Chains A and B, each alone.
Chain A
Amino acid sequence: DAKTTQPPSMDCAEGRAANLPCNHSTISGNEYVYWYRQIHSQGPQYIIHGLKNNETNEMASLIITEDRKSSTLILPHATLRDTAVYYCFCGRDDKIIFGKGTRLHILP
């Protein structure tokens, strides 16, 4: 599975778009990019995943670069409830290896 690199923390003003980057330069052709988040003391929650096309759902958008070596998770209108640790990883969904993630702070 490809190793991922994320900034340890980020701040975002409430109501603004939160853009969380992830580098996965060693991703292989059949590996998906997944994003989960973990709100304090809760189980991880699935957000979105994609292979090479950009994806959007009710929670977020996922932008994957053409070479697939990096991606960005976009929360279009961040709220205080989006404060969490966001994990990006690549691989198969039956073998998730979470890294350290990005701790996103939403500022009122």
Chain B
Amino acid sequence: DTAVSQTPKYLVTQMGNDKSIKCEQNLGHDTMYWYKQDSKKFLKIMFSYNNKELIINETVPNRFSPKSPDKAHLNLHINSLELGDSAVYFCASSQRGSGVSTDTQYFGPGTRLTVL
């Protein structure tokens, strides 16, 4: 069974389009995250949700909007896609988070987004 899954695995789209990436975890974790890994392989956190509430929102353009319909899902919606949005996006989850835990994060397989 896949612990953290993301769809789609690959996403190729034109500039200006709106797209969504879905993430689901079946670990019963309370916290979910979105990371962006750019071409230089730096992995940076974008958002963190704990029990459906946003707890971390790094300096990310407001074209990016996370949506958490329930504790097991954290989707990433991107409006007006730009060339610089091309990257691999990873979803992750952990049991607690919120700065008080040392729980480990479990990462999904990633979604490679290419904006043409």
Contact = CB atoms under 8 A, between A and B. Distances in A.
A, B bound: yes
A38 B97 CA distance: 21
B43 A44 contact: yes
Interface stretch (A10-18, A64-72, A74-82, A95-103): A95-103
User: In this complex, which of A44, A46, A85, A94 has the most chain B Cβ atoms within 10 angstroms of its Cβ?
Assistant: A94
Nearest to B103: A93
A93 B43 contact: no
A92 B42 CA distance: 18
Given A93-B102, A93-B104, A98 B43 contact: yes
Interface in B14-70: 31, 33, 35, 41-45, 48, 55-56
Contacts of B43: 38, 44, 87, 96, 98
A94 B41 contact: no
A85 B41 contact: yes
Contacts of B98: 94
A44 B98 CA distance: 20
Q: For chain B, which range describes its interface: under 10, 10 to 19, 20 to 34, or 35 or more residues?
A: 20 to 34
B84 interface: no
A97 B109 CA distance: 18
A94 B90 contact: no
Nearest to A41: B110
A45 interface: yes
B45 A44 contact: no
Interface of A: 32, 38, 41-46, 49, 85, 87, 92-101
Interface of B: 4, 31, 33, 35, 41-45, 48, 55-56, 90, 92, 94, 97-99, 101-110
10 contacts: A43-B109, A44-B105, A46-B105, A46-B106, A49-B102, A92-B99, A94-B33, A94-B94, A95-B99, A96-B35
